[in-house]
Amino acid sequence: MLGQDGLELGQRVTYDRSPGLHAGPADRPGAAYQCPPPRGDALDLGFQREAQERPDHHDQPEHEDIVEGRRDRDGANQVGGDQDFLPFAWDQNQPTKYYGPGSLDRTFQLSVGGFLQIMQRGPTVAFGAHLTSPLATSLYMENQGRPGEIYFTDITGDGESGDPIAGYKLGTFGRGTSGGNINSVISAFNTKYAGTFSPAAQALIANGLFTAAQMKSLGAVIDSVAAAPAGQFSNPWFRAFDAKLAWPIKVRERLTIEPSIGFYNLFNFSNFGSVGGQLNGSDGSANGTTSTTGKEVLRRGIGTGVNTAGAARQIEWSLKVSF
């Protein structure tokens, strides 16, 4: 099986660590690979590096890499898109470039709870209320996994595709950008970047391997981002009010029966998750989710447990026996 660079997965190769395009191994004439700029081991997902010293050249370590498939940044390894808890940076050349609110960040949270016993050995009432501001979402281009994806969605030139929308920090949607003005962000990006050349394409043109006209004829230009529909959905507030009524009945010294009824989301508030940051125009994305029907894919459901916070109102009956 061959990787995007034409090398077999699992094959050991020896190469120059300096950035740029280099010739492939001797047993594969004509093969070439793109060496990313040097970066720390914690940020290197594409390769497993090994360094060993040649017996006859103790002062010149030879680097060997095992060519592996790269995991896209929008793959299953995400933890809510929060760079603080992920094994990659959004810009491999400048790991600290992109910072901003994490995907679990809320600027405002209010929770209130209480417990009341109406009389001695009488019924008890407990409640909990929650009100939180919208979550933040980072906006980034769609990585379609095409051959040469770096020509379409690698804005920074670090060799990773599906880059954040240039000019904006992480967590921008929900923090100044919303469904009401997302199209101004998209329009500004398309005006400046769409149809132009990525750093990878510019390197080919600068070295005379292709002309600008040839690159455009091949379609090797930065993608444009589709505009959001009218009434684009914004990240919502979260509201919930839970209550429970119980009545402990003491039968005898060591036997108590306690029937109860609990109401989760008593007032049946509608709650939805935050939109996805990949700008692919699909339902649930920051440029494809309407406030009427499109948002339904984000509605909080009951899940697989007894209760999911913010889901449609649920009622729970229970009987507790203590002895």
Encode pLDDT of 21-58 as tens digits: 444 444 444 434 344 443 333 333 333 333 333 333 33
Burial class (CB in 10 A: 0-12, 13-18, 19+), 281: middle
- C-alpha distances out from residue 178 to 10, 172, 175, 188, Å: 44, 9, 8, 15
Residue among 6, 57, 56 at smallest CA distance from 27? 6
What pTM, to 2 d.p., does this model score? 0.67
Q: Which residues contact 21 (CB under 8 A, 6 or more apart)?
A: 32, 33, 34, 35, 203
Please say whether the dihedral angle defined by the alpha carbons of residues 111, 134, 99 and 158, taken in this order, is positive or negative.
positive
SS3 of residue 171 by DSSP:
coil
Helix (H) or strand (E) holding 67: strand 57-67
Query: Taking a C-beta distance cutoff of 8 angstroms, is the pair 137, 158 a contact?
Result: no
Measure the CA–CA gap between 224 and 80, rounded to whole angstroms. Answer: 25
Residue 307 has pLDDT above 90, yes or no: no
SS3 of residue 247 by DSSP:
coil
Predicted confidence (pLDDT) per residue in 227-267, tens digit:
999 999 999 999 999 999 999 998 988 899 999 999 999 99
Measure the CA–CA gap between 135 and 110, rounded to whole angstroms. Answer: 14
Q: In which residue are the tokens 């339904």 written?
A: 296
Lowest-confidence segment of 35-49, 114-128, 232-246, 270-284 by average pLDDT: 35-49
Query: Taking a C-beta distance cutoff of 8 angstroms, is the pair 185, 174 a contact?
Result: no
